[in-house]
Structure 1
Amino acid sequence: MVLKLIGTLAAAVFVVACGQGTSAEKSPLCSPDYQPGELTVTRDDPEGFTQEEPTKTTTDASAIEQVTRALCELPEPPTDAQCTADLGPTFVLRFTDNTGKPTEIRAEAFSCRYVNGLDIRRQAKPSLWQALTAAGLPSGG
């Protein structure tokens, strides 16, 4: 009985550790029911850097959907990632759905290019920067 309980607990821990949690853990942006309203992107530069691009906003639902799709398809970074100590801009993506609920994502355009604010930390790829550029928004690509 004890061994069976230990085996069940070990299997549950394995499933959670491998990212196979419930859909309640997923970011609202990655839900098929997400209804975009507005996306504002701000380039947040470290002190001493010049902000080259101002904050821009779009309400184009198709463009916002492309950006959310690119975000939700980003991979998790490797566990053994070796990041440089350089600094650069972070892009703050503020999504507002059609009910007014906000979601903020921070995408780093330097070093390991981490993306934070979704269900899990992810790593930015060219597809994200391309979707932002196509929407006429500031990007790190």
Structure 2
Amino acid sequence: MNKGIGPALARLVLMLLTLLIGCAFQVATCAACTPPPVPHVQPNSVVIQTLGPSPQEVLQSVTLSDPALINQLYNTIYTLPVLPENSACTLDYGPRYVLSFKQGNQPVVVVTAERFGCRKVTIDDEGIQRHGTEEFWSLLDQAIAAGTPTT
């Protein structure tokens, strides 16, 4: 009976070590992938569109012009952690948002946020995906509530 336990225990230890090394590599890879700094341009308005199942279906659109809340939301987006490659995500579905930041009439940046799966936040001019934190989603909810409907 003890003969079978030795090889099984060795395989279990080997599997655990492989898993730990893989996790350490993923953390090290993600730590090396630091997000770019916040751009110096600060927007003074943001249009937030809530999209339906089809990207062309806009369920709600609001404009936010509160400078403090805009800056807090904008800066929070640029400090979100990078989403590790090959992240395991849920298969649920929820709303998507498109945030169009502007300074005057000039576009600054467009951000897409998915409130499902890995809760990805993508800044259009970056090549990376970020992970939406609870702080981000709370600020987005505040911005939507404080915004005025866009016609």
Quick check: TM above 0.5? yes
CA gap 1:20/1:128 in 2 versus in 1, 3 angstroms? closer
> Counterparts in 2 of 1:46-125, with a 5 A limit?
46-47=53-54, 54-98=60-104, 100-117=106-123, 119=126, 120-125=128-133
Please tell me whether the aligned partners of residues 35 and 98 of structure 1 are also in contact (alpha carbons under 8 angstroms): no
Deviation of residue 20 (structure 1)? 5.9
- Aligned position for 1:36: 43
Name the SS of the counterpart of 1:110 in structure 2.
Answer: coil
Gaps of 5+ in 1: 1-17
Q: Which runs of 4 or more aligned residues in structure 1 lie more than 3 Å from their structure 2 counterparts after TM superposition? A: 18-21
Q: Distance in 1 between matches of 2:105 and 2:42?
A: 8
Q: Which residue of 1 aligns with 2:135?
A: 127
Q: Which moved more, 1:76-85 or 1:38-47?
A: 76-85
Q: Could you say if the C-alpha distance between residues 85 and 20 of structure 1 is closer, same or farther in structure 2, counting changes exceeding 3 Å? A: closer
Give the structure 1 partner of residue 33 of structure 2: 19
TM-superposed CA distance for 1:126, in Å, is: 0.9
Count of matched residue positions in the alignment of Structure 1 and Structure 2: 112
User: Secondary structure of the equivalent of 2:69?
Assistant: helix
Report the Cα offset of residue 112 of structure 1. Answer: 0.6
* Structure-2 residue corresponding to 1:3: none
Let me know the Cα RMSD of the aligned residues. Answer: 2.7
SS in 1 for 2:77: helix
> In the alignment, residue 122 of structure 1 is paired with which amino acid?
R
Per the TM alignment, residue 59 of structure 1 is displaced from its structure 2 partner at its CA by 1.3
Gaps of 5+ in 2: 1-31
Normalised TM-score (structure 1): 0.67
For normalisation by structure 2, the TM-score amounts to 0.63
